[in-house]
């Protein structure tokens, strides 16, 4: 069974590289028209060009927008709606982790930045999608929202405490919004384990390519693993799923965590 997103419009935050780029490319390959956002237009343009190289004819447009800026969220959603006529899928993927260490040692600027991007950001973008494209007062109500959480939001992870706190709160936010926006909009989360991205480089750099990791499936995750989950949740196959957290971690949690 092929999963298709023909006629759908998606917006992916943090779409210039890694998991966000993989999700955007996968959606485009399955027929969706996609807007990708990130802070810097140069990285977005490169990402869009790479996706078009992978998917001939892909409709992928970059829009520079800081994930923590409410006005940028408004403008990006407006751009998607004005350009493609609607917005069916919002993927809140952008994240940050400026503090790597004990929670008790975090300073206010780093704490605030983590909360603003990882928690307030997804709420703001969801609010804009609801008001401009998915809510009952819009031209084509309905759609789905996918929040990228983390296994760090489900378990204790020593050096990622502040990051994990925001990801745990994002899961709670996902469930609240799933209830509030039902039945028109489905809201789910994905909790990735350790994935080979630039964002997580400090956690996997230096390991040999044939390293067997201490979890059930033994290998490091790839961005495409998460993109496949995001494709399923965005598709009609997940039409009776909302308020859930899909863990994609290679079996790390059942082996005691990362």
Q: 10-residue block means of pLDDT along the chain (258 residues)?
A: 94 97 98 98 97 97 98 99 98 94 95 98 99 96 98 86 96 99 98 82 64 84 96 98 97 81
Within 8 A by CB and 6+ apart from 84, the residues are 9, 33, 35, 59
pLDDT for res 258 = 66
Spatial contact of 26 and 224, defined as CB atoms under 8 Å apart: yes
Sheet of 89-92: strands edge to edge? 60-64, 33-38, 9-13, 89-92, 143-148, 185-192, 245-248
Spatial contact of 20 and 12, defined as CB atoms under 8 Å apart: yes
Q: What whole-number distance in Å separates Cα of residue 56 and Cα of residue 62? A: 17
Number of domains in the chain: 1
Within 8 A by CB and 6+ apart from 142, the residues are 88, 134, 184, 185
Q: What whole-number distance in Å separates Cα of residue 88 and Cα of residue 143? A: 4
Q: What whole-number distance in Å separates Cα of residue 109 and Cα of residue 79? A: 31
- What are the two backbone dihedrals, phi and then psi, of residue 68, each rounded to the nearest 5 degrees? -95, 0
Closest CA to 247 of 182, 183, 195, 190: 190
pLDDT for res 256 = 75
256 occurs within a structural domain: no
Residue holding tokens 């609801």?
Answer: 130
1 occurs within a structural domain: no
Residue range(s) defining the domain that contains residue 143:
9-247
Q: What angle do helix axes 108-115 and 161-181 make, rounded to 10 degrees?
A: 30
173 occurs within a structural domain: yes
pLDDT for res 213 = 83
257 occurs within a structural domain: no
Rg of the chain, C-alpha, whole Å: 17
Buried b (16+ CB within 10 A) or exposed e, 58-96: bbbbbbbbbbbbeebbbbbbebbbeebebbbbbbbbbbb
In a 3-state reduction of DSSP, which class is residue 67? Answer: coil
255 occurs within a structural domain: no
Closest CA to 28 of 188, 187, 241, 227: 227
184 occurs within a structural domain: yes
The pTM (predicted TM-score) of the whole model is 0.95
Q: Determine which one of 27, 140, 163, 213 is catalytic.
A: 163
- What are the two backbone dihedrals, phi and then psi, of residue 122, each rounded to the nearest 5 degrees? -55, -35
3 occurs within a structural domain: no
Q: H-type helices in 11-158, by residue range?
A: 18-29, 41-54, 70-84, 108-115, 121-129
Closest CA to 86 of 132, 27, 29: 132
Q: Indicate which CATH number applies to the domain containing 198.
A: 3.40.50.720
Q: What whole-number distance in Å separates Cα of residue 9 and Cα of residue 147? A: 17
In a 3-state reduction of DSSP, which class is residue 99? Answer: coil
Is residue 163 among the annotated active site residues? yes
258 occurs within a structural domain: no
pLDDT for res 202 = 59
Dihedral in degrees, nearest 10, Cα atoms 154, 155, 159, 160: 0
């Amino acid at each position: 069974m092929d999963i298709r997103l023909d006629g759908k419009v998606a917006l992916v935050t943090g779409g210039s590289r890694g998991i966000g780029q993989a999700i955007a490319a996968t959606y485009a390959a399955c027929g969706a028209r996609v807007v990708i956002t990130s802070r810097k237009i140069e990285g977005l343009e490169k990402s869009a060009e790479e996706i078009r190289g992978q998917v001939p004819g892909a409709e992928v447009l970059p829009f520079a927008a800081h994930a923590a800026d409410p006005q940028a969220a408004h403008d990006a959603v407006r751009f998607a709606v004005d350009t493609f006529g609607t917005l069916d899928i919002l993927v809140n993927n952008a994240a940050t982790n400026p503090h790597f260490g004990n929670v008790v040692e975090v300073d206010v600027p780093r704490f605030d930045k983590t909360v603003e991007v990882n928690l307030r950001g997804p709420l703001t973008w969801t609010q804009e999608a609801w008001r401009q494209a998915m809510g009952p007062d819009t031209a084509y109500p309905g759609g789905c929202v996918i929040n990228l959480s983390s296994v760090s939001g489900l378990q204790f992870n020593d050096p990622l405490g502040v990051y994990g706190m925001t990801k745990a709160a994002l899961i709670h936010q996902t469930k609240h919004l799933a209830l509030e926006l039902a039945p028109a909009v489905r809201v789910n989360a994905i909790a990735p384990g350790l994935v080979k991205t630039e964002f997580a480089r400090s956690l996997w750099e230096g390991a040999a390519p044939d390293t067997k990791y201490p979890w059930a499936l033994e290998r490091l995750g790839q961005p495409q693993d998460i993109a496949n989950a995001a494709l399923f949740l965005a598709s009609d196959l997940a039409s009776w799923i909302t308020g859930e957290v899909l863990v994609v971690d290679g079996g790390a949690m059942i082996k005691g965590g990362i």
